[in-house]
Amino acid sequence: MTLLDSDVWGRKFYSDGWRDSAGEHPVTEPATGDRLGSVGLATAGDVARAAARAAEAQRGWAATAPRERAAVLRRAGELLTEHAAEIEDWLVREAGSVRSKAAFEVGLAIGECFECAGLPSHPQGEVLASDEARWSLARRRPAGVVSVIAPFNFPLVLALRSVAPALALGNAVLLKPDPRTAVGGGVAVARVFEEAGLPAGVLHLLPGDGSVGQAVVEAPEVRVVSFTGSTPVGRAIGERAGRLLKRAHLELGGNNALVVLPGADAAKAASAGAFGSYLHQGQICMTTGRHIVHESLVAEYTAALAAKADALPVGDPAREDVALGPLIDRRQVERVHGIVTGSVAAGAKIAAGGEPAGAGYRATVLTGVTPDMPAWREEIFGPVAPVVSFSTLEEAARIVDDCEFGLSVGILGDVGTAMRLADRIESGKVHINEQTVSDEPGAPFGGVKSSGTGSRFGGAAANVEAFTETQWVTVRPDIADYPF
């Protein structure tokens, strides 16, 4: 039996074992429309039962020795390594990933598990100075039950980057994946930890619709919500969590800028820009959505970028050697095309692409773009690269920051000039002489403004802050004297 054998999970969800569900959701291959299987859908009632069970199981899991929790995380990483090819196949077929993207994603997931295996033995607090004759300590304690709501685009790693640290630090988890990628972003996670020896009741997989999403936020046992997805949905979750006095970690959208400085190598810059805009069909929160090029290079850069876009084949990554696979569904194809045609109607010019290609969309370059056009203002989530020019560093900084998002910025060219620009802009991440798409398990990840609530993923400091609470503890040698 393989790790993801559908006989285990078909028409089921995971909560104290694999349970039959009242409803099901088809697992569909976006490139062909073929049905790959069917996952079970949870209900709000299932969430209520899972949350109660998670709260019960969490107490025992938190009391488990750090070395035992670390061993589960290491074993999860080993299982991901052993079954990498199988999981990659699912990411190709279910999420429309090209093979290299799927391999990259599984590699990140493996790194996430091994990185988080160090968290159980990470320092859990500090000794505080006190004016009293006592010891004063601040220690970190597990938050309790954590809800993780994960998206479709990098379904495995964007689930694991919250699930793994939350588990490592002694929490129980309710995982709600996007139903469109519930195998790669849900079943794979549940099966890995099931086989790794995670105790029953600590992790629950609860695919479902909006009512299930609302339930995993509102369940009284849940103390922390970790959400990755669109800004409008993130705002709604943040508002709901705020009313319930729960912490919400929100990693939301982006419309990321790539700045090409004067003197940069235009050919290499165009290669970086193409990767940033077209990796996984532009369906990444870090996708390069705005190309801001110095006026001395803009013609050369645009021509080179358009040539690369025209050379990138679009098709079915499970059956063809392509650079771009399908978009997640037909509705997204229509949305991307609507943004492109709307911008062209407003005066933009198509230098490459600009049309659907089966279930995908051709790599597109737009010129003549102005700030009021949808291709410039909106997060497209498709393979579209709008290009504008700038003349001064001050103008470049203004263009970068004239955006509601603030997730990732790439700056190509002279390092000293790039450093001066980096000091002037608002962004959760800045990559000098790299494009905007970059992630590592040990690095903090998060954005500012409408891109979310800051770096709450990646690295020990961010993870401990995200998934634990601070408790103040004092100790005296004897009972203190009081005036009463």
Nearest by Cα to 361 from 255, 439, 282? 282
Catalytic pick among 113, 116, 285, 403: 285
Compute the average pLDDT of residues 222-243.
97
pLDDT bin (cut points 50, 70, 90) of residue 274 is very high
Question: Using alpha carbons only, how large is the chain's radius of gyration in Å?
Answer: 24
Q: Report all structural domains of the chain as residue ranges with CATH numbers, in order of start.
A: 6-252+452-473 (3.40.605.10), 256-432 (3.40.309.10)
Task: Give dist(CA 246, CA 452) in Å, integer.
Answer: 16
% of the chain exceeding 90 in pLDDT: 98
Candidate list 88, 115, 251, 379, residue with the active-site label = 251
Torsion-angle region of residue 449: left (phi > 0), alpha (psi -120 to 50) or beta? Answer: left
State the pLDDT at residue 330.
96
Q: What is the pLDDT of residues 206-225, one digit of tens each?
A: 999 999 999 999 999 999 99
Q: What is the pLDDT of residue 475?
A: 98
Mean pLDDT computed over every residue of the chain: 97
User: For residue 244, is pLDDT > 70?
Assistant: yes
Closest CA to 22 of 209, 215, 147, 271: 209
**pLDDT tens digits for range 60-69:** 999 999 999 9
DSSP 234: H
In sequence order, what are the residues at sequence separation of 6 or more whose Cβ sits closer than 8 angstroms to the Cβ of residue 380?
Answer: 282, 287, 289, 336, 339
- Contact residues for 452 (Cβ-Cβ < 8 A; gap 6+): 234, 249, 250, 251, 252, 407, 428, 446
Predicted local confidence at residue 458, as pLDDT: 87
Return d(Cα 484, Cα 479) in angstroms, integer: 14
Task: Please state the separation of Cα 205 from the chain's center in Å.
Answer: 18
pLDDT confidence tier of residue 456, bands split at 50, 70 and 90: confident
**C-alpha span between 386 and 409 (Å, rounded):** 15
Q: Is the pLDDT of residue 1 over 90?
A: no
Give residue 342's pLDDT: 98
Note if 285 is an active site residue.
yes
The predicted model gives 55-82 an average pLDDT of 98
pLDDT digits (tens, 9 = 90+) for 174-216: 999 999 999 999 999 999 999 999 999 999 999 999 999 999 9
Extract the tokens encoding 265.
Answer: 């190598």
pLDDT tens-digit map of 134-189: 999 999 999 999 999 999 999 999 999 999 999 999 999 999 999 999 999 999 99
| Of 38, 156, 164, 161, the residue nearest 97 (C-alpha) | 156
Look at residue 454 and tell me whether its pLDDT is greater than 80. no
Q: Would strands 222-228 and 247-251 be described as parallel, antiparallel, or unpaired? A: parallel
CB-based contact 8:1 (threshold 8 Å): yes
Whether residue 372 contacts residue 359, with contact meaning beta carbons closer than 8 Å, is answered with no
Q: Look at residue 402 and tell me whether its pLDDT is greater than 80.
A: yes
Please say whether the beta carbons of 160 and 224 come within 8 A: no
How is the beta sheet containing 349-352 ordered, strand by strand? 349-352, 364-367, 384-390, 288-294, 256-260, 408-412, 429-432
* Environment class of 199 (CB within 10 Å of its CB; exposed 0-12, middle 13-18, buried 19+): middle
pLDDT digits (tens, 9 = 90+) for 420-446: 999 999 999 999 999 999 999 999 999
Q: What's phi and psi for 442, nearest 5 deg?
A: -95, 5
For residue 258, give both structure tokens: 């790539």
Indicate if the pLDDT at residue 418 is higher than 90. Answer: yes
- What torsion, rounded to 10 degrees, do the Cα atoms 388, 408, 94, 309 define? 30
Q: What band does 472 get if pLDDT is binned at 50, 70 and 90?
A: very high
Mean pLDDT, range 313-326, rounded to an integer? 97
Contacts of 28 (CB under 8 A, 6+ apart): 34, 35, 36, 94, 180
- pTM, rounded to two decimals: 0.96
* pLDDT for residue 319: 96
pLDDT value of residue 455: 65
Nearest-10 crossing angle of helices 393-401, 415-422: 50
Percent of the chain with pLDDT over 70: 100
